[in-house]
Chain A
Amino acid sequence: MMWRVGTVVALQDETATARTITLKVPDWPGHIAGQHVDVRLTASDGYSAVRSYSIASAPNAEKRVELTVERLPNGEVSPYLTQELAVGDRLELRGPIGGWFVWRTQQTEPIQLIAGGSGIVPLMAMIRSRASTGSTAPFRLLYSVREPGAVFYRDDLLALSDCYNKVSLTYAYTRIPPKDWPRPPGRIDGALIADVTWPSNLAPTCYVCGPTPFVESAVGFLSASGNSADKIRTERFGPTGDRK
């Protein structure tokens, strides 16, 4: 797979630690919502480091690719991408990569999206892809975040989630909910999953993305609610939580 060169045309902070990078990639071949890219940084002595990032944007004719990068405390690449990179810089990337954790516009069945933290990124590409192609597939998103300030794409989600109730959105706050929020702060649980996700008899396809422990628990609740394993697709990141 060949390396391509993109030029940074816009940068936008999503939260205090996450930034969306918009690249113009003249030879971009197009992508499917949910796919990711490899990004390569190269130092002046030739040393290079590569990391994978999910694509946040819908496929588009302008050959623009948006990546949202969360800054990891001891990261090698993410601090550069979120703090050093400037508009006009060129960035090497290759992709799109991945053919499993994807939503194709031909899919018409109900879609259940469940995001933990920055796991929203590939799911946002699916929501945007649905909107840009005029799909009428019914979507639901359950988005678990620490606090309101940690929400990515707030305005876009608001704009895309009220069209005829075909994309419904539920936030679950783990630490600090907004004032007067009905649900006490806490991790997602079986009652919430049963309450806000599609009934399993509608046979939704479920996409779950987030840190490993989050995905494990969300999938457990989906299964307990009657969703079959072959309808659940997952993308995990980060350690399992049991650090050595």
Chain B
Amino acid sequence: MGIISRGFSGRRSAADAKLPPGQYLTTDFPVLSAGPTPHIPLDQWEFVIDDGTNVLRRWDWKSFRDLPTETFTVDLHCVTRWSKLGTSWEGVSVDTMLADVKTDASYAMARSYGDYTTNLPLKDLRNGQAWIAFRFDNKDLAPEHGGPARLLVPHLYLWKSAKWVKGLTLMSHDKPGFWESLGYHIYGDPWREQRYSGDE
């Protein structure tokens, strides 16, 4: 236990029991981004899966939106310590997008408009754990929250859920993305409180 803060009692709520360590509940939807919000016209949007050399799959907005979609309700946990419970989304499962891709890769780099990147093990993108989401709360996803479409991997800290996502590069070895190169954890499990590099 840390040093007792004289006169501090804190504010606890029943909902805190559902939160990962060190998180607090918010009903807002705060925004954290490193730079300007890109605005991508739908007729210029595309999503590409590649292996670093060759394009394996490519969708424009229309062919992407022809894919089967899922609606899902998940909890979000941001490394800046807010958590938002029970958010509802619509998107395409990454399983669907990887269905016809033959690969031996174990990792992926998500790439975004605006040059953001974030790395994940490929297994964390499979088995119903990740989506390319384009609707939030029954509305088209707003640009500041990553619209037209963002990656959503709710079991990891939210920086892994790349906004404005435009593709996945499959990799045989893990490699740090943007925040992972700047002191944040390579994997980012909120339940193990993997915030910063060096956290267990």
Contacts and interface: CB of A to CB of B under 8 A. Distances in A.
A212 B31 contact: yes
B38 to A, nearest CB: 7
A52 B81 contact: yes
Contacts of B27: 243-244
Nearest to A74: B11
A219 B37 contact: yes
A193 B61 CA distance: 35
Interface stretch (A18-26, A40-48, A154-162): A40-48
Interface in A1-42: 1, 3, 5, 40-42
- Name which of B7, B36, B137, B142 has the most chain A CB atoms within 10 A of its CB: B36
Nearest to A223: B36
Contacts of B196: 1, 97
Contact of A90 (B3, B9, B35, B179): B3
Interface size classification for chain A:
35 or more
Contacts of A234: 33-36
B36 A46 contact: no
A237 B82 CA distance: 11
Interface string A233-244: 110111110111
B2 A216 contact: no
A89 interface: yes
A147 interface: no
The binding surface of chain A is classed by DSSP as mixed
A229 B5 contact: no
A99 interface: yes
Given A76-B10, A97-B196, A212-B31, A41 B37 contact: no
A43 B8 contact: yes
A84 B7 contact: yes
Interface in A97-118: 97-101
A107 to B, nearest CB: 16
Given A92-B2, A97-B196, A41 B10 contact: yes
A87 interface: no
A89 B114 contact: no
B80 interface: yes
Contacts of A233: 34-35
A47 B27 CA distance: 22
B36 A240 contact: no
A49 interface: yes
B1 A1 contact: no
Contact of A99 (B11, B29, B182): B182
B199 interface: yes
Interface string B94-119: 00000000000000000000110000
